[in-house]
Structures are given as structure tokens and as C-alpha cells.
Amino acid sequence: MKYIAIIGFGVVGGGITEVIEQNKAAVKRLVGDEIYVKYILDLREFPDSPYGDRVVHDVNIIADDPEISVVCETMGGVNPAFDFSMLMLKNKKSVVTSNKELVAKRGVELLSAARQAGVQYLFEASVGGGIPEIRGMRTSLAGDTVSGIDGIMNGTTNYILTRMKKDGASFDEALSEAQRLGYAEKDPTADVDGFDAQRKIMILTAVATDMMADEGDVYRETMRNITPLDMDAAARFGGTVKLLGSARIGEDSASVFVCPFFVPSDCPLSFVDDVYNGIRVMSPVTADVMFYGRGAGRMPTAGAVVADVVSVLSGIAEKERSAKWEYAPDGYITPFEENSFSYYLRIRTESPEECAEAVRLAFGGAEILQGSPEGFAELITDEINEKDARSLFPSLEGLESHIRIMK
């Protein structure tokens, strides 16, 4: 028997016990032994749960038990999850987690502590829920470098954008539906303002480069301002609007950002709808690889945590290339303003032709998007540096929308 513990018995923590029970035979085949959840650390009691008798309230009971080899941290948040994880690692217990905030903010120190203790710190479930993109990038793409990542990494916002696209819903209507279905929180800030996607693209960039960006260096833009007019324009352009977490990676630099994009329909990300996630990884040798699946939810996320448990207990994790992250040094993260994009512009005007000419002159070139609603000029500009574009926007009287176009 292999003994593990769960700290944080919420949605994902509870799912772990279910996955282990449901996949008992498969897990035993891979690990060579059964996995037994010996402790559950939580502030609450669970008298109605079959695991209620394993609940403890003192983290040291787990840390001091030599039988425990792996601890699943599914508490969320930085504190006390960081202290608890450190305690476990220092006590030579591997830690596996779904906690993206902790991995993004303190993953460097946790990985270092794991290395020093000769154990593992794994976090497959922290990005893309049940999608195995972290292991895929770390092992299957190990013979290549990663030059870019574009990901729909937040299921809630993807659901909202899908409702806006398919039903013509406004942002507020689609958000209310997402809240009614339990996808969006009552306070949807983390999802719709891009904080969740920001943490996830920081993690994936670190997986690709071993450099963890500072949150302040990762550009983040809300998707609250996307309107049905934007969705309609994106359809006429030949694509759709998606909130992307992206990284452009050079030899000694990376630019990391989260914002809404027009995604052309020849890119498979444009077909990733509802609560699904899709992550496109670009590399010079392998070219584009696309990971697709359920990026959130109790069972897919718990499944990814259990996969990490299995990889520790079966010895796979020890043999894999071990992550050795550093905080990105000054200058490594390129400012967002240094990127270049084409832009979709919607400008309220009585004279669309004159307006288009003014945009052409300012941006060095632009195509008119056909089928504009009355009283607007809509243009797709030539590629221009973000910093230059920002300096031009205030001069465009009547500018209602500007959305970057994914390359």
C-alpha cells in the first residue's frame, strides 16, 4: 500500500478520492500497489463522507508520518498553502498541486526545496485542468525549444465568448449565464480580468524557459469590453474573439501577455468553444502542437493531480527532466509595447472613407472591413508596433474598439 494525504478537501481535493476509487485497477497497474488516502487536512469536518474519519486539523500529523510519500495540495491561494507545501518538501514528501496562484508566485522556491530534498514538486493540474500540456512540453517536446505559446486557458471566459458568438449575447448576459451554471464566480474578476490566465501563461512560459516572470511584467487586459459588435466584426473578418494567454520566446528573452484577440478561423484555437481550453505550442522542429480538453472542473482537474501522484509513485517523475526554475532576471521579459500587431479598429464616423484614409496614413496601411454597421468605419491595420499604436489611438476621434489580431 502507498499512503498519500490531501490538504484542502474542496472540489478538487474531493475529486482526488473519487478518481483513485474509480481508477483503482489502472492506478495499481502503474504504481504496482494500491494508493490509500491516509489523511485529509481541512478546517472542516466531513461527517457524511466515507473519508470523514481521516480528517485531521494539524498539518504536522502528515509531515511527521514516515508512511506518507506524496501530499496533494488542493487548498488554493498562497498562504498557508506555501508554508504547508514547504513543510512537506523539507520532510521529504513529494507535493503535487492544482494551485496555479502558488506555482506562479512561489514555484521557484518550491521547486528548489524539492530538489534539495530529493523529492518532486509537480503541478500538471495548475494549467489546463485535465490537459497534459505540462508533461507534454517537459518530456515529449524535450528535444525541441519552444518559440511561442497561445492558449485559451480560462474556461469561464471562453464560455462567455462562445455565448456571445453563438447566441449574440452581451457580455453581461453571457456572464450571468456562466454564473448561473456555476462556471463563473459571484465575483468574476479573476477570470474576466485575466488574472487566472496570467498565472497560467506565467507557468507555461516557465515550463518552456525555466524563467518565471514577475506578474508586473506580464501584460494583462480585461475581456469585459468585448461587445456583440466586436463578435460580429470578427465573424466578418473570418474568425472569432478569444482571450489568449501568449508568450513569444527568444533565445534570451520572452514577451508574455494576456488579452483578447481576433483569432482567424484557419487557427484551430478558433474552434475551441464553451468551457474547453486549447493550448498551441510552437517550436522550430516540431512546429505547432495543439493541446485540447477540459481546462477546469472537479474530475478532469483531480485526474491531473492523480496523474502526478502516479508519476511520483511509479518513479516516472524522478526519471523525467527535473524543472529548475529561476526568477527571470531584469531585461529577460520584453515589454509588451515592443510587440507588433495588426489591429481591428471600429470608429464611429459620418465619413467612413475619410476616416479610413486618416487611419491608413497614421498606421502606414489598413484594409476596410466590409459590411460595417451604419455610422462606423471598421479597419484592419497593417502590422504596427504596440507602442506606436497606443500613441495613435487618442488621435482617432470616435474610436470605440481596438482588438489585436493573432498572428
State the residues that interact with ligand HSE by CB under 6 A: 129, 154-156, 191, 196, 295-296
Least spacing, CB of residue 296 vs ligand HSE, in Å? 4
Which residue type is seen at 58?
A: D
CA dist., res. 293 & res. 100, Å (int): 18
Least spacing, CB of residue 233 vs ligand HSE, in Å? 25
Reply yes or no on whether 319 is catalytic: no
Least spacing, CB of residue 195 vs ligand HSE, in Å? 10
Rank residues 45 and 274 by Cβ distance to ligand HSE and give the closer one.
274
For 137, the grid coordinates are 512540453
CA dist., res. 97 & res. 13, Å (int): 10
Rank residues 274 and 318 by Cβ distance to ligand HSE and give the closer one.
274
Least spacing, CB of residue 116 vs ligand HSE, in Å? 29
φ/ψ bin of 72: left (φ > 0), alpha (ψ from -120 to 50), beta (otherwise): beta
Rank residues 278 and 359 by Cβ distance to ligand HSE and give the closer one.
278
Residue among 100, 105, 200, 242 flagged as catalytic: 200
φ/ψ bin of 71: left (φ > 0), alpha (ψ from -120 to 50), beta (otherwise): beta
Least spacing, CB of residue 30 vs ligand HSE, in Å? 26
Rank residues 278 and 295 by Cβ distance to ligand HSE and give the closer one.
295
Rank residues 8 and 129 by Cβ distance to ligand HSE and give the closer one.
129
Rank residues 128 and 136 by Cβ distance to ligand HSE and give the closer one.
128
Least spacing, CB of residue 273 vs ligand HSE, in Å? 14
Residues annotated catalytic, as ranges:
200
